[in-house]
Amino acid sequence: MAQGGDWADIASEQAERGDETIVVNMGPQHPSTHGVLRLILEMDGETVESIRPAIGFLHTGIEKNMEYKTWTQGVTYVTRMDYVAPLFNEAAYCLAVEKLLGITDEIPERATIIRVLVMELNRIASHLVAMGTGGMEIGALTVMTIAFREREMILDFLEGLSGLRMNHAYIRPGGVANDLPEDGLAHLRTVIDWLKKHLPEYATFCNENPIFLGRLSNVGVMSLTAATMMGMSGPPLRSTGYDWDLRKTQPYCGYETYDFDVVTWDSEDSYGRFRIRLQECWESLKIVEQCYERLEATQGQPVMVADQKIAWPAQLSVGPDGQGNSNEHIKHIMGESMEALIHHFKIVTEGFKVPVGQVYQAIESPKGELGCHVVSDGGTRPYRVHFRDPGFNHLQSVPLMCEGGMMSDVVVSIASLDPVLGGVDR
């Protein structure tokens, strides 16, 4: 299927039928498929008679590869799944590993605050991509250019924190890789102020724009019954008016201590999903501001669990060159303590053991419920890691949303789901 090998069969079946229905391939290189997604459409004129999503073009074997790496090295793999929201992949995986280790309550408060901070900044960045590319696909190019302008501000902050713009591998089992840099809080304040100033532009461009309304309203309609039947979550589910958000219903990382609202809409269509994402940017910004205050109050506190048998890497710090070199730690292990050098060598090469068991950890990603199922056989590597990516479930609902509609509405419907094929295929 992923090689298009069934195309000859489809064409010959069509030739035998001899009616006016034509079969069209949309993708897998179509610019509006948010990755490499193939859609097989049977068309009667401009009307979609049937539609089948074909996935697998971006399958990278991440889950299988993790079985050959240590628990900490696994973070480097999972961050590459949904590459628009990498920090959520890392958080779900690390929370699951920490559950198996039994150290959930030992994670330092400052590390948890930083995790919430980077997730909410990443949520805004992900929504900006969804709104920007969704606008671009219907001709609203300015929406895309301003969305990527704001996203760039967030990526600059994340780069200053982790050394990387994306695929950060920043959240680790036991905490986070390193604390904020010296100018971290000042940089964060700049980002907050910038977003407060520029987020209102999206409402001005889109909310009441008659062309935007006409293209999104009553397109990709999914009722609450259909949405729950297809396993939908996140903005597509909340656009039916159902206020299901795991940060409220099944809190993790202390989300129950933050003040924010769950955004819903009652239009059950693509327009509602857009409005939800726009308002969620404001709710995330509220959480980011609360994180700012908490980080001010916890300066100097640890960001990694105290157990040195788990804490890896040991006190990294991002230097002025953007590289993660901790000069103090290198000096200690190379010139002061043979035992520290031996410990560093063993934990980096062998890793730590995780007790036998299995857990499922779900978090609220920008797209919906991101779940991580981890199985341990007691060794230094996972026995099995499997992710439930919300985009995978959402793509199976495409026929329900699009059949009977116009071909031009297929693009809008898929954009409103915001699938990222790296997460779907893994």
Residue 342, domain member (yes or no): no
In terms of domains, do 43 and 109 share one?
no
User: How many separate domains does the chain show?
Assistant: 2
Give 394-426 pLDDT, tens digit per residue.
988 888 888 888 888 888 888 888 888 888 888
Range of the domain at 38: 7-54
Secondary structure (H, E, C), the chain: CCCCCCHHHHHHHHHHHCCCCEEEEECCCCCCCCCCCEEEEEEECCEEEEEEEECCCCCCCHHHHHHHCCCCCHHHHHCCCCCCCHHHHHHHHHHHHHHHHCCHHHCCHHHHHHHHHHHHHHHHHHHHHHHHHHHHHCCCHHHHHHHHHHHHHHHHHHHHHHCCCCCCCCEECCEECCCCCCCHHHHHHHHHHHHHHHCHHHHHHHHCCHHHHHHHCCCCCCCHHHHHHCCCCCHHHHCCCCCCCHHHHCCCCCHHHCCCCCCCCCCCCHHHHHHHHHHHHHHHHHHHHHHHHHHHHCCCCCCECCCCCCCCCCCCCCCCCCCCCCHHHHHHHHHCCHHHHHHHHHHHHCCCCCCCEEEEEEEECCCCEEEEEEEECCCCCCCEEEEECHHHHHHCCHHHHHCCCEHHHHHHHHHHHCCCHHHHHC
Is pLDDT larger for residue 74 or for residue 220?
A: 74
- Do residues 40 and 116 both lie within one domain? no
Q: Which residue, 18, 33, 54, sits at the end of a domain?
A: 54
76, 30: one domain: no
**42 assigned to some structural domain:** yes
Instruction: Tell whether 93 is covered by a domain.
Output: yes
In this structure, the answer to whether residues 15 and 94 fall within a common structural domain is no
Co-location of 31 and 106 in the same domain: no
Whether residue 117 is found in the same domain as residue 137:
yes
In this prediction, what percent of the chain has a pLDDT beyond 90? 18
Q: Supply the pLDDT for residue 401.
A: 87
pLDDT digits (tens, 9 = 90+) for 1-52: 556 667 777 777 767 766 677 888 877 665 556 668 888 888 888 888 888 8
**42 in the same domain as 67:** no
Say yes or no: 258 and 193 in one domain: yes
Say yes or no: 84 and 38 in one domain.
no
CATH of the domain at 375: 1.10.645.10
